[in-house]
Chains A and B, each alone.
Chain A
Amino acid sequence: MPRAMWSGAISFGLVNIPIKLFTAVSRKNVSFNQIDTRSGSRIQYRKVSAADGEEVPNEAIAKGYQLSSGEYVLVGDDELATLDPEATRTIDIEQFVDLDEIDPLFYDAAYYVAPDKGATKPYALLTRAMEEQGKVAIARLVMRTKQYLAALRPKDGMLVMSTMVYADEVNDPAQLDGVEEMHDVDVSERELRMAEQLIESLTEPFEPERYEDTYRNQVLELINRKAAGEEEVVAAPAPAAEEKVVDLMAALEASVRDAKEARKRHPTAKAAAGGGGADEDDADDAKPARRSTKASKATKASKASKATKSTKAAPRRKSA
């Protein structure tokens, strides 16, 4: 169960509906740490004075707002705190609108709104009424120390809240190049119809699952590959002509021989693998399936004896 990131109440006329907010979206960017390639250690940030490069202790750091004159006005955290919006724990519904009245440009972050204890009934009531009327609620709330404008809309029987940007935060597109001239362009009926036909032919239901972040997948693959020690891409087009190509078993021979030698020198690994009952099992060779994990040996000699045993154990498919 994910943790609620905010709890409070929807305030709607005289009704208060206790709710919790959960983030609706988890970003899946691949995050990297910065590493010193020479030592492999992590990179640390230090706050230093621009004047002498000396490190500055946290308590000596204040916020400064630069004036046009180039001078700074210093503002203390305690001074800012007095201006913080009152940390009301309510989502105040101010009006209802139709969904398509809101330009998607205004939407910021999305949250799921879940009813808190005992609020199921009024929550369901509000949700259903909004669903019936096809309305979206515009509300205000304070999270942390910031005041937000938000839209609450019903979705699959629950409420989803999107915080919204303020109108004065939206840039004016009229300042962009080429926007002005566009309004005077003439298009013929025929051109318009062709374009419309193209749109029609490409129109199909939106299935977000069909799209994925291929860049992220590639980055993760690269990381997996490197973690597996394969900086050299396996079976890339044959590298240099000087690379000697050998038969697989010939290439493995030396490594396999060394591994077996190593085990002979350190038979402890073998003993550790045994455990209760292993010795009794070894005593009885008559039954099939005696070549158990515990009974198996890594040496050549015992492999030969195993082969003999396995003849005795010759399995038949048809059951008795």
Chain B
Amino acid sequence: MAERTAGRSATVEVEGRRLTLSNLDKVLYPEAGTTKAEVIEYYARIASAMVPHLADRGVTLRRFPNGVDAGSFFEKRCPSHRPGWLGTVLGPGDSNGSIHYCCLDSAPALVWAANMAALEIHGPMARGADIDSPTMCVFDLDPGAPAAIPECADVALDVRHVLEGLDLEGFPKTSGSKGLQVYVPLNRPHTHRQASGFAQAVAQLLERARPDAVVSNMKKSLRPGKVFVDWSQNSRHKTTVAVYSLRARPRPTVSTPVSWEEVEAAADGAPLSFEAADVIARVEDHGDLFAATLTLEQSLPADGKI
């Protein structure tokens, strides 16, 4: 058999699972020159930190077969050509039915997804085993230009302030794109309605306090120069970019957990954006800053009481 270095594909073994990788030299981020091999390398290296956050959640894959500058498609339904060992969980379908979502609960599963150029991995707030009970509540802070990361960081600090007043701890991460997200771990029985109602109440509170900086209404026209506190990401059928997922931006930026000190610095104008290699180094140095979101048990205040 001829050497297969030309198009560079390879059959590899990852944790005992055999996978055939293809088109390793294909450039997926043209501006940065990042190839599929590097994307796969990133997901293989980040797996130990990322997998616990994905396990038992049905993920939506956003695939870029020809790189970030070409078309993409969202894949909710786990493809039927998936390997036999890849787990799936039932989740909300497009109409009323349920569909099988991929469950990326191991390094080989992440590598398999990366090989399909699934650069972005989006996850729901609930686990597959109990899709009606979110394990966390998310505040998705989305800046409307000219507002950017500093404004987002500023609002994130306000969110933290409100949470602290309620004895709740929140964990910030970059979206890997333009904004920030604050996750409030629950890990106790809650409904999507509770989570979404709570996030909306906080969003409206912040909007009333700083109408010039914050908007809680989805309407795009209200957003310029303000930060949209998207509370609706807490609904059952919504997904948010998973922690440690790459984003399809010009450079391979990552949705990265950050410390509140870093958010404070960002509010003062320091940049807050990390690429794949930075994130690997951060996890090696500091571990997984999002680890506590998996176990910390907190309860949201009763409906509307904030």
Contact = CB atoms under 8 A, between A and B. Distances in A.
Interface of A: 207, 209-210, 212, 217-218, 221, 224-225, 227-230, 232-236, 238-240, 242-249, 251-252, 254-256, 258-259, 262-263, 266, 269, 272-273, 281, 287-296, 298, 303, 306-307, 310-311, 313-317, 319-320
Contacts of B261: 288, 315-316, 319-320
B294 interface: no
Interface in B1-48: 1, 5, 8-14, 17-27, 30-38, 40-41, 44
A255 B22 contact: no
Please indicate which of the listed interface residues A255, A310, A311 has the most CB atoms of chain B within 10 Å of its own CB.
A255
B278 A245 contact: no
Interface residues of B, number: 80
Contacts of A246: 10-13
A74 B4 CA distance: 64
19 contacts: A218-B80, A221-B81, A228-B63, A228-B117, A234-B20, A234-B22, A234-B115, A236-B20, A256-B35, A256-B37, A259-B38, A288-B265, A289-B258, A292-B270, A294-B273, A295-B271, A303-B277, A306-B277, A317-B292
B275 interface: yes
Kindly list the 7 A-B residue pairs having the minimum CB-CB distance in the complex, ordered from nearest.
A315-B259, A292-B271, A255-B37, A228-B65, A235-B83, A209-B95, A293-B273
A255 B24 contact: yes
Contacts of B82: 235
Given A251-B21, A289-B258, A315-B258, A306 B278 contact: yes
Contacts of B116: 228, 230, 234
B244 interface: no
Contacts of B10: 246, 251
Please indicate which of the listed interface residues B9, B21, B33, B292 has the most CB atoms of chain A within 10 Å of its own CB.
B33
A275 B33 CA distance: 17
B4 to A, nearest CB: 9
Interface string B158-172: 001000100000010
B147 interface: no
Given A235-B19, A248-B111, A314 B292 contact: no
A259 B34 contact: yes
A225 B253 contact: no
B153 to A, nearest CB: 10
B272 interface: yes
B33 A259 contact: yes
B266 interface: yes
A238 B18 contact: yes
Contact of A293 (B26, B96, B164, B275): B275
Contact of B282 (A239, A294, A310): A310
Interface string B252-280: 01000011111011100011111101100
Contacts of B96: 207, 209-210
B251 interface: yes
A225 B34 CA distance: 22
A270 to B, nearest CB: 8
A289 B81 contact: no
B272 A217 contact: no
B289 interface: yes
A298 B35 CA distance: 13
Contacts of A291: 274, 278
A317 B259 contact: yes
Interface string B69-93: 0000101010111110000000000
A249 B41 contact: yes
A289 B270 contact: yes
B146 interface: no
Contacts of A254: 5, 8
Interface in B197-234: none
A287 B265 contact: yes
B37 A252 contact: yes
Contact of A269 (B13, B32, B37, B77): B32
A289 B289 contact: no
B31 A315 contact: no
Please indicate which of the listed interface residues A239, A252, A295, A316 has the most CB atoms of chain B within 10 Å of its own CB.
A252
A217 to B, nearest CB: 7
A296 B34 CA distance: 14
A254 B24 CA distance: 10
B265 A289 contact: yes
Interface string B101-119: 0000000000110011100
A295 B275 CA distance: 10
B33 A266 contact: yes
A315 B73 contact: no
A316 B81 CA distance: 43
Nearest to A242: B1
A235 B22 contact: no
A263 B5 contact: no
A107 to B, nearest CB: 23
A272 B99 CA distance: 42
